[in-house]
Amino acid sequence: MNNNANKIKSSQNHLLIGLTGGIGSGKSTVATLFEQHGTRIIDTDEISRSLTSAGGKAIPRILGVFGADFIDSAGALNRSKMREFVFANSTAKAKLEAILHPLILEQAKQATSTPSTAPYTFVVIPLLFESQSYRDWLHWTLVVDCAEKIQLARTMQRNGVDKALVESIMAQQISRSQRLALADDIIRNDGDLPSLSAQVDLLHVRYLNKANGSD
């Protein structure tokens, strides 16, 4: 979003920063560290879970497109079954994204329009660069990056899934090199928590300056 940098300086709008990174890179940890500085965090994964929970806005359309087999007994999306299905079927994945992505964007925009005392807002978007929908809305982007072998290990441990599934998910995301080339800022998350916190502290000062129009 480099072409929007001047807009940040001249606009009175609340500063919106897209936070992204590959699976297992540590986006949630980075978001939590920024939140400790008083930053507002809007997580599109949380929005997606709300949309696909029992009574969620996306459930009727998912039911109509994919059928009752993908809805659990509580009336929510059967996430594990859908995950396995869409990662083996690109057409199904596109259909699911066509249902969810517009609804997620709509609710994210509603959330950011709510008045806040936070100096700036992070919108956590795992597929930020894969989607064209967010690019003209956000002012800046921050990528959380780590080695791919670390992504694999973290995701396998966190989600209890095998290596092949994680590799399949990673293969359907934008490549690490492409993601880094598109980033306005990068946080490295190959080290320990103190190192990560130090990077967050430095960027927080920078973003405060941006929010005040002094950077």
pLDDT in tens, 8-34: 433 346 899 999 998 889 999 999 999
Q: Which residues pair with 123 in a beta bridge?
A: 18, 42
Question: What spatial distance separates the first Cα and last Cα of the chain, rounded to whole Å?
Answer: 15
According to DSSP H, which parts of the chain are helical?
5-10, 27-35, 44-51, 59-66, 79-87, 90-113, 148-159, 163-171, 176-182, 193-211
Question: Which pLDDT value is given to residue 11?
Answer: 37
**At 170, is the pLDDT very low, low, confident or very high (cuts 50, 70, 90)?**
confident
Task: With a cut of 50, say whether residue 198 has pLDDT above it.
Answer: yes
Q: What is the pTM of this model?
A: 0.85
Compute CA distances 36 → 29, 41, 117, whole Å: 11, 10, 14
Q: Mean pLDDT across the chain, nearest whole number? A: 88
